[in-house]
Structure 1
């Protein structure tokens, strides 16, 4: 495999890259393209618990991503014309890997500071600080790769097209795997660890395997190991009470936690999704610790005393459907997250005679042949009710 750098001159491309190194460049384009989308998809999971998974959060993430990439393309192209050696390319990738490893380390501190800026500015600023540096560096990669790989002007169009296609294919794979598989399988912090470490390893392979600079291995692995050991497990819950995490899992619909809270004689168990409390139970008597559930339970009585058949959309800890069934109502529940159902049964003593349907509430209400006297909607995403359940089409 021929590296297109003259020995002793890091910045001048003097040798035409052979097919082996061209394939390595293609893998680099795919890996960095995947990393861009992994960071963007995970961004909503990082910022969501603080600012809600709202339009403002997604607008901030998309804007920061596009600004960082556009700036990276421009500056990367400028630098590639002046410092076009492959060593500079893999140093940029190395730096991007370390910035990704830093995201979980500083996310809580950055987000707590940005909360005071308000919803719009806070979401944008936190996204820019946490994800901007890594995305900017990843944006610099493609111009460098094209500069190294393009050896003949008459083939420049083909070279650009091939490497952009490979990079985009990596982005597609990164987005799909992260959203459909990785979050639920490994968790957000582990994915950041794998992604950042993967980019660091890619640079190490170049410098140590191709350039024979073994000192780079030690220089890279020591700080990478230190960062991996400092990864926080989860954002800490504050206050004077004593909190003990009983269960935690990242799911396709956010992080789900069960936390026991002790304060004085109080012994409460909380259900938390993406840092937001979704329900609480007094462990001594099984009653809800939040007033809103009592208001929800009495809604059927406020509307009509004649109905019995009830659909509860959104399970939570299951107190509302369990209480209604105890009062003689025929209750079915529709819940989109299967892990919430398992958590309610295991940690909150949820059990009813009616059906529990694991599905999107809107789809179930449109497709079911059941007729209900009451439909109680208790669904929240990131502290907000999902719009698609309150549209004319859904009703």
Structure 2
């Protein structure tokens, strides 16, 4: 216990630095906790109550700091590293009950039992250290209490801001900079601040993390996944979330996962003598997007692939751009996540003869001088649509890259009965005046209003949008494409014209925050759908 006593008796500057370091580490753990929740509950649901919980528990830690010190016999600081070491183990066991607890309740409970105790005790200890380090008692009780409170708040928020920027840039670049690796690194740093024999209490959790935690060991993970009929091929943290490639061992398909959603997949088990040029996707929407080539020009004539250019925004597993490339179309792929591109190339047969742009699409469309015959806009990820890619500003910039007689196909995944879907469709129609909308399922097949719909549009309003009849070359030897290439389930665009009270007609960048609550609702609906696509154990063990 001498280390604690020594710290509390040290000069004020060192106490202040110790308090600041403690706050910094705890603030860093805040966005990391959301990252840990995202593969199990989805990136959006993980955020819904996180900010409120952190504010409440952090405030409680400050105002209860004297009680925490008294109840712990002034040994609370020694408990902080132990709590930090136990967080990943507690989370792993709680994740196994996610299907029972549901979403977002399960996410809240998981944080309440794992991260919030660490937050409360850390803020309480840091508050005492900052208060002692500033030593403002001679200026009166009000100054001695409120100035340290303000300093503690500023230090925590600065640490949290730094953590978000750091994680956005470096997450996944090394094991100890992965979301799981950081859950080992941060407790070690806590231990530097408060080393003691009490750390022996963390030994069981450390041993579990080093030997059996599925989030840290691919071997341990595959032992669980094989029981569910799956095999992990690859995984990595990246800028858009936790990415992994999984093989279904029973039905014969491969998928790419991003947090609690799927970016796409392909069938890997084929009948004898069946070899399509481009692998069949597991979802028909990716084949529907290929129908952009079938849209006739304003003279009702078929388009010609030779010397045509296509822009694909959002790669996924690469089924649609692979088809465009094999049809001889010069294809530019804009993908914000380099790991998505790497996985699509290595595990989903994305051809190398394309132009790769690893960049935010909003930046790319502002700077590119190129114009394209075809644009495919397919950016669903992490359980929600990135709103900035559906705003009036972005779509107008995108329209400037489309030739006058060009065609755009936009994949929208969401609840088409909710306000954001109608808002998005109206915005698209304002920029591209001639549109038709199709979805994957018929009304009789729908069990929910959450679906994929593809919006085909032209810049020109000279003639209605029409599709030519496919020919055998369009199918590329695929029976799947024979069934799903030509869109069939058309959606009446009039259903999107009603504007609710207080609603907007179009989506502008400055107003996109107004529909975040709708996105949260859609993300929760998407979570339930995904739980029926893959077994709970696959999502929970990630």
* TM-score, normalisation: structure 2: 0.60
Q: Alpha-carbon deviation of 1:252? A: 2.0
State yes or no: 1:196 paired with 2:180. Answer: no
1:151-300 correspondence to structure 2 within 5 Å: 153-154=137-138, 157=143, 160=148, 170-185=159-174, 186-204=177-195, 207=196, 215-216=197-198, 219-220=200-201, 222-229=203-210, 230-233=212-215, 242-263=229-250, 266-283=251-268, 284=270, 285=275, 286-300=279-293
Count of residues paired in the alignment: 366
**1:6-30 C-alpha deviation (Å, 9 max, x unpaired):** 9xxxxxxxx98343xx454334323
2:83 aligns with: 96
How far apart, in 1, do the equivalents of 2:239 and 2:352 lie? 25
2:49 counterpart SS class: helix
Distance 1:332 1:223, change over 3 A: same
Query: Which residue of the other structure, out of 40, 50, 61, is the alignment partner of 1:61?
Result: 50
How far apart, in 2, do the equivalents of 1:242 and 1:112 lie? 19
Is contact 1:92–1:141 with CA below 8 Å preserved after alignment? no
Q: Alpha-carbon deviation of 1:72? A: 1.0
Q: Alpha-carbon deviation of 1:108? A: 1.8
How far apart, in 2, do the equivalents of 1:164 and 1:384 lie? 32
How far apart, in 1, do the equivalents of 2:92 and 2:129 lie? 30
Is contact 1:197–1:224 with CA below 8 Å preserved after alignment? no
Higher deviation after alignment, 160-169 or 294-303: 160-169
How far apart, in 2, do the equivalents of 1:131 and 1:379 lie? 32
Higher deviation after alignment, 353-362 or 172-181: 172-181
Query: Which residue of the other structure, out of 100, 115, 127, is the alignment partner of 1:131?
Result: 115
**1:287-317 C-alpha deviation (Å, 9 max, x unpaired):** 2222221111113424644374321111112
How far apart, in 2, do the equivalents of 1:16 and 1:339 lie? 46
1:73 aligns with: 62
For the aligned residue pairs, the C-alpha RMSD in angstroms reads 3.3
Note the residue ranges of structure 1 that are not aligned, 5 or more in a row.
7-14, 208-214
Q: Alpha-carbon deviation of 1:246? A: 1.5
1:246-395 correspondence to structure 2 within 5 Å: 246-263=233-250, 266-283=251-268, 284=270, 285=275, 286-302=279-295, 304=297, 305-306=302-303, 308-395=308-395
How far apart, in 2, do the equivalents of 1:387 and 1:153 lie? 50
Q: Alpha-carbon deviation of 1:147? A: 4.8
Q: Alpha-carbon deviation of 1:93? A: 2.0
Q: Alpha-carbon deviation of 1:135? A: 1.7
Higher deviation after alignment, 292-301 or 26-35: 26-35
Q: Alpha-carbon deviation of 1:183? A: 4.1
**1:229-265 C-alpha deviation (Å, 9 max, x unpaired):** 34223677769763221111111221221222221xx
Q: Alpha-carbon deviation of 1:191? A: 0.6
2:379 counterpart SS class: coil
Note the residue ranges of structure 2 that are not aligned, 5 or more in a row.
396-542
How far apart, in 2, do the equivalents of 1:105 and 1:394 lie? 40
* TM-score, normalisation: structure 1: 0.79
